[in-house]
Amino acid sequence: MHSPEVAPPSPLLLRIPEVFADLVPEILEGLGVQSIKRMGSEYFLVNAGRADIRNSAYGKFVRWYLPVEHSWPCNPEKMTGFVEKAAQGLLKKFASRKPQAILVGQLDPSASGRYYKTLASNLRGRTLQVFPAMEIGSAEEQHSGRGTLFCLVGKEGLFSGVISPKAANGFHPGGTKYISQNAEDTISRAGAKIAEALHYLRLHLPELPAGGRWLELGASPGGMTSELLKRGFHVTAVDRAVLDSRLANFKSLEFLRRDVATFVPEKGASYNAILSDMNGKPRDAFQQVARLSVFLKPAGIVVFTLKTTAVESAAAINDLHLAILKDAEEAGLTPVAGTHLTYNRQEFTLFFRRRNA
**pLDDT per position as a tens digit, 153-209:** 999 999 999 999 999 999 999 998 777 766 566 778 889 999 999 999 999 999 888
- Amino acid sitting at position 144: S
Please report which confidence band the pLDDT of residue 13 belongs to, taking 50, 70 and 90 as the band edges. Answer: very high
pLDDT band at 5 (very low <50, low <70, confident <90, very high): low
pTM for this one?
0.93
Per-residue pLDDT at 182: 66
CB 49 within 8 A of CB 36: no
Rounded average pLDDT over 297-318: 95
Indicate the CATH number for domain 190-354: 3.40.50.150
The strand order across the sheet containing 271-276 reads 253-256, 234-238, 213-217, 271-276, 296-307, 347-354, 333-339
Average pLDDT, the chain: 92
List the strands of the sheet with 157-163, edge to edge. Answer: 70-73, 157-163, 148-154, 102-106
* pLDDT at 233 exceeding the cut of 70: yes
Per-residue pLDDT tens over the stretch 110-159: 777 899 999 999 999 999 999 999 988 889 999 999 999 999 999 999 99
At residue 56, does pLDDT exceed 60? yes
pLDDT of residue 258: 95
Q: What is the pLDDT of residue 298?
A: 92
Tell me the domain boundaries of the chain. 12-168, 190-354
Protein fold of 12-168: VC0802-like (3.30.2130)
Give the chain as a 3 state SS string: CCCCCCCCCCCEEEECCHHHHHHHHHHHHHHCCEEEEEECCCEEEEECCCCCCCCCCCHHHCCEEEECCEEEECCHHHCCCHHHHHHHHHHHHHHHHCCCCEEEEECCCCCCCCHHHHHHHHHHHHHHHHCCCCCCCCHHHCCCCCCEEEEEEECCEEEEEEECHHHHCCCECCECCCCCCCCCCCCCCHHHHHHHHHHHHCCCCCCCCCCCEEEEECCCCCHHHHHHHHCCCEEEEECCCCCCHHHCCCCCEEEECCCHHHCCCCCCCCEEEEEECCCCCHHHHHHHHHHHHHHEEEEEEEEEEEECCCCCCHHHHHHHHHHHHHHHHHCCEEEEEEECCCCCCCEEEEEEEECCC
Report how far residue 163's alpha carbon sits from residue 53's, in angstroms, rounded to the nearest whole number.
14
Percent pLDDT > 70 in the chain is: 96
pLDDT for the residue 8: 57
Averaged pLDDT for residues 73-85: 95
Q: Specify the pLDDT at position 40.
A: 83
- pLDDT band for 2, please (50, 70, 90 cuts): very low
Tens-digit pLDDT profile for residues 241-292: 999 899 988 999 999 999 999 999 999 999 999 999 999 999 999 999 999 9
Rounded Cα distance between 257 and 115, Å, is: 50
